[in-house]
Structure 1
């Protein structure tokens, strides 16, 4: 089984997990790590490592912002701990978390990352553009 760790500013990771569990039920292989205003890169890295040490499973770290502290801390661990099986992606959104939850048990981690990256472009929609597109199809 692949572990999924959500890491984000404030309580976003915890609330993202809670929202996904409203749809999927308990996601026991998901965890959430809060990056508070009192944390820095080092203390956040320690939180992530503590969570990673709870199991020896391959892990997908999903962070909120590319190059934000949660992303940088996750990438730092990935580089410092090459024996750990870790993938890091940014751009956390509820559609992304749901996509991962739907396939993480049956799909290899490298495929999950590729599918999520491809699906990300489909999750942002403009109402006006969609209405015009729908009208043109009829």
Structure 2
């Protein structure tokens, strides 16, 4: 199975997981998440990551999405995945957003894991844009 694992500071990963559930379906066993909450120690977060990925076997693949490249959640999750011997079948991307995660969820079974970053990142980048609304002035001369 190919898993998407979301990690973040605060509640971003669980919130993104919730948003994905609304769009791609609830109770997806292939989408997992955990987060480093305010005041949580690295040891507790490390254990949470271990529990989060405990269902993943060496035959599975992982797309690990984190909020910040070099941030503690992504770095620790990468280390836990390495310790579990799962790193060879893992692709890691930092800077996750909803378009990236949604694209991953929709295309993960149709695209080779190693090709996913090149396929997903342009759409994720295009998802960041200013949303302009034209304001129409109402005529008060009625």
Provide the C-alpha distance between the structure 1 equivalents of 2:53 and 2:70, rounded to a whole number of angstroms. 21
Moved more, 15-24 or 36-45: 36-45
TM-score normalised by the chain length of structure 2: 0.78
Task: Count residues with an aligned counterpart.
Answer: 129
Task: Tell me the CA shift for residue 9 of structure 1.
Answer: 1.5
The alignment status of 1:12 with 2:12, answered yes or no, reads yes
Deviations 1:52-76 (A, max 9, x none): 2212121111111122111111232
Quick one: structure 1 residues 11 and 127, their matched pair in 2 at CA, closer, same or farther if it must change by over 3 Å? closer
Partner of 1:74: 77
Partner of 2:140: none
Structure 2: runs of 5+ lacking an equivalent: 135-142
Give 1 or 2: higher helix fraction. Answer: 1
Deviations 1:49-105 (A, max 9, x none): 222221212111111112211111123235545554222111111111111111012
For the pair shown, the structure with the greater C-alpha radius of gyration is 2
Q: What is the RMSD computed on CA atoms of the aligned residues?
A: 2.1
Structure 1: runs of 5+ lacking an equivalent: 132-138
